[in-house]
Amino acid sequence: MYRHSFAEDFLTKFHYLDSMGVQERKTPFKKAVRFERQLCSEPRLNFLPLLPHFQVGDSRLFTIATVIAVVFFWVVSIPARAQGTLTVLQTGGGQPLVTSQQTVDIGTNGGAVITFNFGFVTSEVPAPGVVLDSFSVSVQDQMSDLALLLTADASGVTWAPYSPGAAPITDSQIIRQAITPPSDSPVLGQGLAYFVQFPVPAQFMGDPLTVYFDLYDNLSGASSLGWYEGLSVVTPVPEPRTVLMAGLGLILIVIKKKFGRCP
C-alpha cells in the first residue's frame, strides 16, 4: 500500500513538471530538491518500475541494454552441436558386435563434461519377443568402472539403462537435445539423433576414460547403423538462465549509475 501511494505521488509530480514550460521548471527549485531527496530516501525497487516515464534519451539507454541482454540470452540458448569426423558402424558384416572406441583425457580439476553427437538408423520394426539391433554408448575408466549412458534401437532411446556391475547413474545426469541427423552418406538425414552432454562423475575423475560405441547385430538380415561425431571434453558452460541473470545485473548497474545519483 505504501509503495503504491509513493508511485502515484511520483507520477503526479513528474507529469506536472513535464507539462510546465522551461522557465516554470526552473522556478520550483526547492520543491525539486525536496522531491529528489524523498526519491533517494525510498527503497530503490519502488523506483525501477517508473523508468519508462523518464526522458527519451534515458528510455533509449534502458531499451538498448534490455535488447542486448535478450539477444545474448537467445544466442546462448541455441542448442550446440558438436562437430567432428563422422564415424559410422553398420550391421551386415556377419559379426554380432561392431565396436569403436576413443580415449579422452578429463584431467583432475573436476567439472569435466563429455560431449558428442550420436544417432541410430534401422529398418527393423519392434515386435514382441524379438531382440532388436541396438546401438550403445558407455564410458570406462582405467579401474574398469563402467557407466552405460544409453541404448538406442527401433523403439527409441533408453537413457542410463540398468546394467549389472555398472556404475549407477541416473537419467537426469545425461543432458541431451534432439538434433537433425547429418546428410552425409550413409545416414542421409534418417533416424534419430541427439547432442549429448555427460558431466563426468567424481569416481571417474583423474584417469583417461575410454568411450565405447557398440552396435549389436541380431544377424536377422535387417539393415541398421549407429553413428557418432564430435567426441570431446569441455568445461561447464553457464546455463542460459544464469547468463540472463548476469545480463539483468549489468542492466541494473547501468540504471544505478544513470539514475541513482543521490545527494
**Per-residue confidence in pLDDT tens, the chain, 263 aa:** 444 444 455 445 445 445 555 444 444 444 444 544 554 454 444 444 444 444 444 556 556 656 665 555 444 444 444 557 999 999 999 999 999 999 998 877 778 999 999 999 999 999 999 999 999 999 999 888 999 999 999 999 999 999 998 999 999 999 999 999 999 999 999 999 999 999 998 888 877 999 999 999 999 999 999 999 999 998 655 555 555 666 666 666 666 565 555 55
- Pair 249, 128: CB distance under 8 Å: no
- In this prediction, residue 6 carries a pLDDT of 43
Sequence-distant (≥ 6) Cβ neighbours of residue 48 within 8 angstroms:
255
Sequence-distant (≥ 6) Cβ neighbours of residue 67 within 8 angstroms:
none
pTM of the model: 0.61
Give which of 171, 225, 161, 224 is closest to 196, Cα–Cα: 171
Cell output for 237 = 558452460
Give which of 107, 194, 181 is closest to 149, Cα–Cα: 194
- In this prediction, residue 232 carries a pLDDT of 94
Amino acid, single-letter form, for residue 241: R
Give which of 119, 132, 126 is closest to 82, Cα–Cα: 119
> From CA 173, how far away is CA 169, in angstroms rounded?
7
- In this prediction, residue 23 carries a pLDDT of 44
| Count of CB atoms situated within 10 Å of the CB of 229 | 19
| Count of CB atoms situated within 10 Å of the CB of 82 | 18
- In this prediction, residue 24 carries a pLDDT of 43
- Classify 16 as helix, strand or coil: helix
Domain ranges for the chain, please list them.
2-78+252-259, 87-234
Query: What's the fold here for domain 87-234?
Result: Jelly Rolls (2.60.120)
Amino acid, single-letter form, for residue 72: F
Cell output for 121 = 538408423
Quick one: which H or E segment has residue 138?
A: strand 134-140
How many residues would you count in the chain?
Answer: 263
- In this prediction, residue 186 carries a pLDDT of 95
